[in-house]
Amino acid sequence: MLKSIFGSVILVLFLFISAFAGVNINSADEAALESVNGIGRAKAAAIIKYRKDHGPFKTLNELLKVKGIGPNVLNKIKGQVEIPE
C-alpha cells in the first residue's frame, strides 16, 4: 500500500514539474518522451535512436531529421520540449 501511495505521489510531482518545464530532449527516456503530447512510442524510440546515432540535439529544428517528425509535429511539441544550454 505504501508503495502505491509513494508511486502516486511521484507521478503527481512529475506531472506537476512537467507542466512548467519542457522535457529535455537530450536526456529524456522513452517514458518521458511519450509524456509529450504528439510523441508516441514509435516517435520516442526514433528520437532516442537518432540521439544515439548522431549525438545530442543542438536545436529543436534538428528533430525534423527524425523519422516521423515533420513540421506539424515539431510545431505541436515545441512548447513541451527543450534543449538546455
- Mean pLDDT per 10-residue section of the chain, whose length is 85 residues: 69 58 94 96 98 97 96 96 90
What pTM, to 2 d.p., does this model score?
0.75
pLDDT of 39 reads 97
Q: Where are the domains of the chain?
A: 2-82
pLDDT of 70 reads 97
CATH of 2-82, one of 1.10.150.280, 2.40.30.170, 1.10.3720.10, 3.10.20.70: 1.10.150.280
**Helical ranges in the chain per DSSP H:** 2-20, 30-34, 41-54, 71-77
pLDDT of 13 reads 60
* Cα–Cα dist 34/40, whole Å: 5
